[in-house]
Amino acid sequence: MQYLDLDKIALKEIPKISDPDGRGNLSVVEKDYLPFVIKRVYYLYDVPSSSTRGGHAHKQLQQFLIALSGSFDVVLDNGKKRRTITLNRPDRGLLIPSGVWRELENFSSGAVCLSLVSEEYSEEDYIREYSEFKLFKSA
Ligand code: TYD
């Protein structure tokens, strides 16, 4: 099993079109921007600051997270190490490959987490027990 190199994780810049007349910004994710075909889009919102989302890994699914509004922290765990990355800009996103444990926490008031994902929803693809994740990574 491969371990994601957490030191190589960088937020990916999303193309931004700033309006020349000061009417604000527009960011766009086009077909070839991500290393997967988007099969599903969902978003988290109204998350209390004391709550944690995620707490699982995926066997196949890859996803791209964007803080459309506000901020939150993503804790990534590759099975050996953990790294926390703050998402707080709508023109930067975090690509999470398959086989990575993630926890989302410290949601600011009004935070919205957009998730672009490579698979349709399937509970079979989730690893929801950390002990099972460790076994999965050491297999
Ligand atoms: P889950 O993926 O555990 O949320 P998070 O990682 O943000 O904490 O999903 C929460 C619940 O919503 C769970 O019962 C599964 C359901 N769900 C769907 O039915 N469809 C979906 O596309 C997603 C993402 C979740």
Question: pTM for the complete prediction?
Answer: 0.97
Give me the domains of the chain, ranges plus CATH numbers: 6-138 (2.60.120.10)
- 58 a catalytic residue: no
Ligand 1 midpoint to CA 23 (Å): 35
Q: Residues lining ligand 1, CB < 6 A?
A: 40, 42, 44, 53-54, 121
Which 3 state secondary structure label does DSSP give 45?
coil
Q: Whose CA is nearest to atom 6 of ligand 1?
A: 54
pLDDT band of residue 3 (cuts 50, 70, 90) is: confident
Q: Is the pLDDT of residue 1 over 90?
A: no
Q: Does the pLDDT at position 41 exceed 80?
A: yes
With 0-12 / 13-18 / 19 or more C-beta atoms within 10 angstroms meaning exposed / middle / buried, residue 32 is: exposed
Residues 104-126 pLDDT 10s: 999 999 999 999 999 999 999 99
Tens of pLDDT, residues 11-20: 999 999 999 9
Q: Which residue among 40, 46, 53 has the greatest number of ligand 1 atoms within 8 angstroms of its CB, and so is best to mutate?
A: 53
